[in-house]
Amino acid sequence: MGLIILVVILIIILAIFRDLRSFLYAFAIVDIILRIISFVCSQIGEVNKLLGKLPNSIAAMIQAESSGTLETVLMWVYVGLYILFLSYLIPSFFGKKRRR
């Protein structure tokens, strides 16, 4: 169920922005936020009671909601999206000129 909600959210983001770069940034932001929440839940018991049912990451959602060949395909799409995200992120990071 979580995977379906995530896919719907990402499709809405893609429809609103109509830009691959915005979609990739939203994808990475959602994954990073889920990982931060997972870390906080593991460190603080009270937060775990409130947010403990959230998945650890998008990859954890894929692994929990699918199996077999579908899981393999979705994980490769996940890796591909992160490769595309890095292809946008790295040039913008190294393209900045140093200020003196």
What global pTM score does this model have? Answer: 0.73
Q: Is residue 31 part of a domain?
A: yes
Q: Measured between alpha carbons, how far is 49 from 45 in angstroms, rounded to an integer?
A: 7
Whether pLDDT at 18 is above 80: no
What pLDDT is attached to residue 83? 92
Q: Is residue 66 part of a domain?
A: yes
Q: Is residue 29 part of a domain?
A: yes
Whether pLDDT at 49 is above 80: no
* Tally of structural domains, the chain: 1
Whether pLDDT at 28 is above 80: yes
**Mean pLDDT, the chain, integer:** 81
Give ∠ CA 91-10-22 in degrees, rounded to 5. Answer: 30
Q: Is residue 100 part of a domain?
A: no
